[in-house]
Amino acid sequence: MPVACASGCGRNAFMRRPKTGDTLCKECFFLAFETEIHNTIQQEQLFRPGEKVAIAASGGKDSTVLAHVMNVLNKRYNYGLELVLLSIDEGITGYRDDSLKTVAQNRDDYGMPLRVLSYQELYGWTMDRIVAEIGRSNNCTFCGVFRRQALDRGARLMEVDCVATGHNADDIAETVIMNILRGDTARLRRCCDIKTGSKEADTIPRVKPLKYSYEKEIVMYAHFKKLVYFSTECVFAPNAYRGHARAFLKDLEKVRPSAIMDIIHAGEQLQIKGTVKKPVRGVCGRCGFVSSQQPCKACVLLEGLNRGLPKLGIGKKSKGERMVALQEQQLREKAHLVKNDF
């Protein structure tokens, strides 16, 4: 027997929302999904009229839905925003090169200018080459660090006022779990922030309009809206630490559907003792981009690759310093031997 749409529109329901449990027809689901994102934008004051906003576009479901919804809301509610697309090409054969075709489709569909920056262009390395050097155990560390800085570099080149990323509720809940398990108090404090960075701190802000949107609903929205997105997982992702947090979260969600929002709200309320040493965010002395250490993690990792010490930035800083000192000692000894030969 057909179930009536809970909104009272008179149509039959076609789904039960994972987030609220409401039975809705397709049109009411679209409206509810979009309205919730609009309410988040308004309540958190993510944008101001006249701003130029870069949407971090990977071609996946999250960024594709974000681009579509931002385009819809910008017109519906007259935000007055200039929307552009910013993509990062990590240089992963068979993955990123294909997903960028989807981003190009988004550019054409929504009429948004697109800028693509590559790791090769920015750092002189591709992820394929990095993985060949480091192996598959720490490759996500390189990709994550380089990608975050690449977005900052791209945002500065495009002269935007802020960057909107497609992080959804599942992503943020997973990050809370990861940071708790790693005891990373610095990231734990800011991973639930819907807006990070500020112009006052000389950094381009990043915002997460999909912070309270469930991954399942994002997939359903993309599917029933017939949006074109790239769904293949990164070839280097199966060994990622995040995968274990994701599996744990999915098991929790089966037992308690509200677990995702519960974890996010818990993360928002967490307070770190005043006696705990907190890293101070500043600017890297080498590259000039935001960092909580000197030099920044991206510069350390890049130095390791260029020195032939790919594990230089992995682990404690003191370990990396010993590696550099040992290499320099070996180079001096080699130079001394060559000098004696003559």
pLDDT digits (tens, 9 = 90+) for 15-26: 899 888 899 999
- Find, among 138, 135, 131, the residue nearest to 96 by Cα: 131
The mean per-residue pLDDT over the stretch 267-281 comes to 78
CATH code of residue 81 = 3.40.50.620
3-class secondary-structure state, position 245: helix
- Output the pLDDT for position 342: 54
Tell me, yes or no, whether 54 and 140 share the same domain.
Answer: yes
- 322: exposed, middle or buried (C-beta count within 10 Å: 0-12, 13-18, 19+)? exposed
Band the pLDDT of 210: cuts 50, 70, 90.
very high
The mean per-residue pLDDT over the stretch 86-93 comes to 94
Q: What is the number of structural domains in the chain?
A: 2
- 286: exposed, middle or buried (C-beta count within 10 Å: 0-12, 13-18, 19+)? middle
Tell me, yes or no, whether 290 and 259 share the same domain.
Answer: no
Return d(Cα 72, Cα 60) in angstroms, integer: 18
Tell me, yes or no, whether 219 and 307 share the same domain.
Answer: no
Final residue of a structural domain among 276, 291, 320: 276
Q: Is residue 27 part of a domain?
A: no
Residue 14 pLDDT more than 80? yes
Residue 200 pLDDT more than 70? no
Final residue of a structural domain among 220, 248, 276: 276
Angle value at C-alpha 94, between 92 and 99, nearest 5 degrees: 85
Residue ranges of the annotated binding site for ATP are 56-58, 62, 88, 166, 171
| CB neighbour list of residue 291: distance below 8 Å, 6 or more residues apart | 281, 282, 283, 284, 297
Tell me, yes or no, whether 70 and 203 share the same domain.
Answer: yes
- Output the pLDDT for position 319: 54
Q: Tell me: the pLDDT tens digits for 130-153?
A: 999 988 888 888 999 999 999 999
73-82, 141-150, 161-170, 282-291: least confidently modelled range:
282-291
User: How distant is the alpha carbon of residue 66 from its chain centre?
Assistant: 13
Tell me, yes or no, whether 245 and 292 share the same domain.
Answer: no
Q: Is residue 42 part of a domain?
A: no
Tell me, yes or no, whether 296 and 271 share the same domain.
Answer: no
Tell me, yes or no, whether 210 and 297 share the same domain.
Answer: no
Residue 106 pLDDT more than 60? yes
Most confident option among 90-104, 111-125, 223-237: 111-125
Beta-sheet strands, E only, within the chain: 15-16, 23-24, 52-56, 82-89, 114-118, 162-164, 195-196, 206-207, 282-283, 290-291
The mean per-residue pLDDT over the stretch 59-66 comes to 96
Residue 71 pLDDT more than 80? yes
Residue 324 pLDDT more than 60? no
269 versus 325: the higher-pLDDT residue is 269
Return d(Cα 21, Cα 191) in angstroms, integer: 27
The pTM score is 0.88
DSSP assignment of 94-125? TTHHHHHHHHHHHHHHHT--EEEEEHHHHHS-
276 versus 162: the higher-pLDDT residue is 162
- Output the pLDDT for position 306: 93
Q: Is residue 129 part of a domain?
A: yes
Residue ranges of the annotated binding site are 56-58, 62, 88, 166, 171
Q: Tell me: the pLDDT tens digits for 248-259?
A: 999 999 999 899
112-116, 124-128, 318-322, 327-331: least confidently modelled range:
318-322
Tell me, yes or no, whether 214 and 307 share the same domain.
Answer: no
61 versus 332: the higher-pLDDT residue is 61
Band the pLDDT of 331: cuts 50, 70, 90.
low
Tell me, yes or no, whether 241 and 288 share the same domain.
Answer: no
Domain hosting 111: range is: 48-276
